[in-house]
Amino acid sequence: MTESKKNSPEWGSLTSGEFQSNEKWWPNALNLRILHQHHPDSTPLGVEFDYRSNLENVDIDELTRDVDALMTDSQSWWPADWGHYGPFFIRMSWHAAGTYRVSDGRGGGGTGAQRYAPLNSWPDNGNLDKARRLLLPIKQKYGKAISWADLFVFAGNRALETMGFRTAGFAFGREDIWAPEDDIYWGPENEWLSTNDDRYTGSFEDGNRLLDNPLAAVQMGLIYVNPEGPNGIPDAQKSAQDIRETFGRMAMNDEETVALVVGGHTFGKMHGASKPEFHGPEPEAAGFADQGLGWANSHETGLGEYTLTSGLEGAWTPTPTTWDNSYLETLFGHEWELVESPAGAKQWEPKSVREGFMVPDAHVEGRENKPVMSTADMAMLADPTYLEIATRFRENPAVLADAFAKAWFKLLHRDMGPAERYVGPQVPDETFVWQDNVPAHEGPMIGDAEIAELKSTILGSGLTTAQLVKAAWASASTYRTTDFRGGANGARIRLSPMSEWDANVTSGVNQVIAKLEEIQQAFNGKGGPQVSLADLIVLGGSAAVEAAAKAAGHDFTVPFTPGRTDADQESTDIESFQWLEPKADGFRNYQQKQGGIPSEHLLIDKAFMLNLTAPEMTALVGGLRVLGANVGDEGYGVFTDRPGQLTNDFFVNLVDMGTKWHSIGEAEDVFEGVDRETGAPKWKATRVDLVFGANSQLRAIAEEYAAAGGDELMLDAFIRGWVKVMENDRFDLV
Ligand code: HEB
């Protein structure tokens, strides 16, 4: 499309340019769209299609053979280096999975998002459009039976195996999305690879260089770090600092980090044979004739020996398509000096190359090249801890192989949740603590009679509605849909670190759990079907919701499905669970510290993590307020004179024009509502209460819930939302 056409008014609403959107005029507006992404009508597979269960019908052995054959079937439109696409596929897999960040569980290879902007056009993903296109014949053969997401990750795993490495296995089960995620914040910059350090506070110089959360890459457009060193400065020690921080954000420790870099760069090469000015636009900006491929290279053939990707040029080892210890032998075996690649990138090459370390050219018969290292590779020597680990790996290749296999498996599967979500014949028997597994259910399941008995025991135990709802919500609401972690199953709420979290301590959750444990022991002591604490926590909350609805004149049952089990402390990765701590939970009117991202934005994010729609989120907030689920006793948002009953009072009172609101203090965090006539104080509220009257879209829902028949609508959405939250982690139920 030409520029003039793109900017003409009648085309404006058809492009995704910002100039017609509300965000342009009101950049701080809430983005409720993130709650309603991936509309069922947007999938070409049909809403009925269940990818994960259909995988059972796929012949994975045949798929594996097909991928193997592709690996060495070099295509004239993108010839394979050394006749083997393996290294290229490894990089594709690593870049697919490597966007994962443990802080919010976003990114990762789980959705096939590398097909879409911005990822398809990130400079760091240069030429991976070709790697993905090479897989097209396989996609065509298997159709919807194999997702692109699985293919991207599987291809690299298989590549390692075809080049002699023994992986720890592979799990299928990643479902494609049909539009890029609208909820991922990739960073504040307006420019690719900006070197302004916009995402940092502090600096190397003051020893305080700190990357903004939840980001996990040093620059816009990179997966992790700049290979040439921080902001292109070839300082290997500082590069190590950046690597440590960014790999840490991916939940990798030093040992895993070194294993990944060493293992990964045992294969393949860097591409910098041409100058950047030969490059055409990235895929998302490329022309129609390019058919989704970008970075057309006009230097000579623009392929093979002329390829330009990162701009660095050369291989790390003399044997780039074989698993061996040659990366460390090359790295440790030479003295390195700073040079420039043909594309002008800073890189390192040996002052003199030892016998046997020259690298055969990837395309030109008879030519040999020096091995090279990037500044990020030199970090493996420059950082004392990395050096110690790399030295150990060099002396014990079997230890390296084991560490790389485990770290690679974690990299590829970190965003898939517990091992029970893994599909396919290559799933390893071994389990890992980072998977957050819960034990399988054993023995007879509690039935309707036992459930009824337990409900009445709980309701008669002296625990209040508010207490029971608080405990159930605290337990289940740790879930995050981005990487399928958290949730009520496992009852990890009674374990460290959950039991120490401020929100749980402040709201007295531990005391409620202790009482529920007593009930559990008494019940299980009778020798019948056993109930887990995890089930009991959810059942207690659901029974309380039912009772509270009944008190308001509504008779219904909250659906409950038993089968949760209790995990133990040993199977709980404390450090990794710590990321799940709620810093804010608008559903409980909770925020640890004010002054950062406005709490209403955090509420939307939380609702997204819990898979809630806007009407469900709204009903839950209004309902939880009047049930008394707040953390803290200030009574914010409790707009009712009959707390403990499940009513729509929150909405009725919120839209009441008889109340006039003003903020208390400068920060617009806390508000007071007074009688418009008399000035007498009526209610207290936070931003996450008043947003339901102030934001036009949320207000539309709130007005509906406050109107005639609104209580039915609201209760309906409340129960739907409640059950969703309680069952988000029931992967066994689908
Ligand atoms: Fe790598 C390649 C950087 C990590 C695997 N890398 C590469 C390159 C660069 C880099 C620059 C070149 C590109 C072109 O083509 O040009 N890395 C880097 C960095 C880091 C890394 C900076 C951080 C430290 N890797 C990594 C990992 C892995 C890897 C972790 C896995 C495991 N890579 C890789 C491979 C390759 C690369 C396989 C090759 C590709 C081909 O051959 O194509």
Q: 390 CA distance to ligand 1 centroid (A)?
A: 17
Catalytic, 95? Answer yes
* CA-closest residue to ligand 1 atom 2: 270
Q: 499 CA distance to ligand 1 centroid (A)?
A: 41
* CA-closest residue to ligand 1 atom 22: 227
- The answer to whether 721 and 607 have CB atoms below 8 angstroms apart is no
Return the structure tokens found at 625.
């307020």
Residue 9 has pLDDT above 70, yes or no: no
Q: Is 128 exposed, middle or buried (0-12, 13-18, 19+ CB in 10 A)?
A: buried
Residue 191 has pLDDT above 80, yes or no: no
Q: 264 CA distance to ligand 1 centroid (A)?
A: 7
Please report which confidence band the pLDDT of residue 6 belongs to, taking 50, 70 and 90 as the band edges.
very low
Of ligand 1's atoms, which has the minimum distance to the CA of residue 225? 22
131 lines ligand 1 (CB under 6 A): no
How many CB atoms within 10 Å of residue 467?
A: 23
Q: What is the pLDDT of residues 434-453, one digit of tens each?
A: 999 999 999 999 999 999 99
Q: 352 CA distance to ligand 1 centroid (A)?
A: 24
Among residues of the chain, what percentage have pLDDT more than 90?
86
Q: 269 CA distance to ligand 1 centroid (A)?
A: 8
Q: What is the mean pLDDT of the chain?
A: 94
* CA-closest residue to ligand 1 atom 19: 227
* CA-closest residue to ligand 1 atom 37: 91
Of ligand 1's atoms, which has the minimum distance to the CA of residue 411? 32
271 lines ligand 1 (CB under 6 A): yes
Please report which confidence band the pLDDT of residue 207 belongs to, taking 50, 70 and 90 as the band edges.
confident
Pairing of strands 681-686, 210-211: unpaired
Q: 91 CA distance to ligand 1 centroid (A)?
A: 6
User: DSSP per residue over 189-219, as a string?
Assistant: -SSTT--S-TTEES-TTTT--EEPTT--SSS
* CA-closest residue to ligand 1 atom 7: 270
Residue 20 has pLDDT above 90, yes or no: no
263 lines ligand 1 (CB under 6 A): yes
Q: What is the pLDDT of residues 146-164, one digit of tens each?
A: 999 999 999 999 999 999 9
Q: Between helices 614-627 and 687-694, what is the axis angle to 10°?
A: 130
Residue 221 has pLDDT above 80, yes or no: no
224 lines ligand 1 (CB under 6 A): yes
Return the structure tokens found at 517.
């444990």
Q: What is the pLDDT of residues 371-412, one digit of tens each?
A: 999 999 999 999 999 999 999 999 999 999 999 999 999 999
Q: What is the pLDDT of residues 26-70, one digit of tens each?
A: 877 888 988 998 888 999 999 899 999 999 999 999 999 999 999
In the chain, what are the domains? 200-401 (1.10.420.10), 448-579 (1.10.520.10), 584-716 (1.10.420.10)
The rounded distance, in Å, linking the Cα atoms of 132 and 92 is 8
pLDDT of residue 16: 54
pLDDT of residue 158: 98
pLDDT of residue 5: 43
CB proximity list for 294: less than 8 A, separation 6 or greater: 120, 121, 129, 280, 281, 282, 283, 284, 285, 286
- The answer to whether 579 and 106 have CB atoms below 8 angstroms apart is no
Pairing of strands 269-270, 314-315: antiparallel
Of ligand 1's atoms, which has the minimum distance to the CA of residue 227? 22
321 lines ligand 1 (CB under 6 A): no
Of ligand 1's atoms, which has the minimum distance to the CA of residue 243? 24
265 lines ligand 1 (CB under 6 A): yes
In terms of Cα–Cα distance, which of 251, 252, 257, 187 is closest to 222? 187
Please report which confidence band the pLDDT of residue 276 belongs to, taking 50, 70 and 90 as the band edges.
confident
H helices of 326-417, in order, are 326-332, 375-382, 384-395, 397-413
- Averaged pLDDT, 287-313: 96
Q: 518 CA distance to ligand 1 centroid (A)?
A: 54
270 lines ligand 1 (CB under 6 A): yes
- The answer to whether 295 and 127 have CB atoms below 8 angstroms apart is yes
What is the H or E stretch that residue 452 is in?
helix 448-459
Among residues of the chain, what percentage have pLDDT more than 70?
97
Of ligand 1's atoms, which has the minimum distance to the CA of residue 263? 32
* CA-closest residue to ligand 1 atom 35: 91
Q: What is the pLDDT of residues 452-508, one digit of tens each?
A: 999 999 999 999 999 999 999 999 999 999 999 999 999 999 999 999 999 999 999
Of ligand 1's atoms, which has the minimum distance to the CA of residue 267? 38
- Please tell me whether 265 is known to bind a ligand: yes
* CA-closest residue to ligand 1 atom 21: 261
* CA-closest residue to ligand 1 atom 32: 264
Q: 383 CA distance to ligand 1 centroid (A)?
A: 19
Backbone torsions φ then ψ of 373, nearest 5 degrees? -135, 145
Q: What is the pLDDT of residues 241-252, one digit of tens each?
A: 999 999 999 999
Query: Ligand 1 test: best mutation among 224, 250, 265, 361, most atoms within 8 Å of CB?
Result: 265
The rounded distance, in Å, linking the Cα atoms of 639 and 577 is 34
Q: What is the pTM of this model?
A: 0.95
Identify the DSSP state of 126.
T
In terms of Cα–Cα distance, which of 545, 540, 587, 535 is closest to 729? 535
Q: 145 CA distance to ligand 1 centroid (A)?
A: 30
Residue 2 has pLDDT above 60, yes or no: no
For the chain, the maximum distance between any two Cα atoms, rounded to a whole number of angstroms, is 94
259 lines ligand 1 (CB under 6 A): no
* CA-closest residue to ligand 1 atom 31: 264
309 lines ligand 1 (CB under 6 A): yes
Exposure pattern of 687-696 as b/e (b: 16+ CB <10 Å)?
bbbbbbbebe
Backbone torsions φ then ψ of 487, nearest 5 degrees? 105, 175
- The answer to whether 173 and 55 have CB atoms below 8 angstroms apart is yes
Active-site residue identified among 36, 39, 84, 95: 95
Query: Ligand 1 test: best mutation among 95, 270, 321, 346, most atoms within 8 Å of CB?
Result: 270
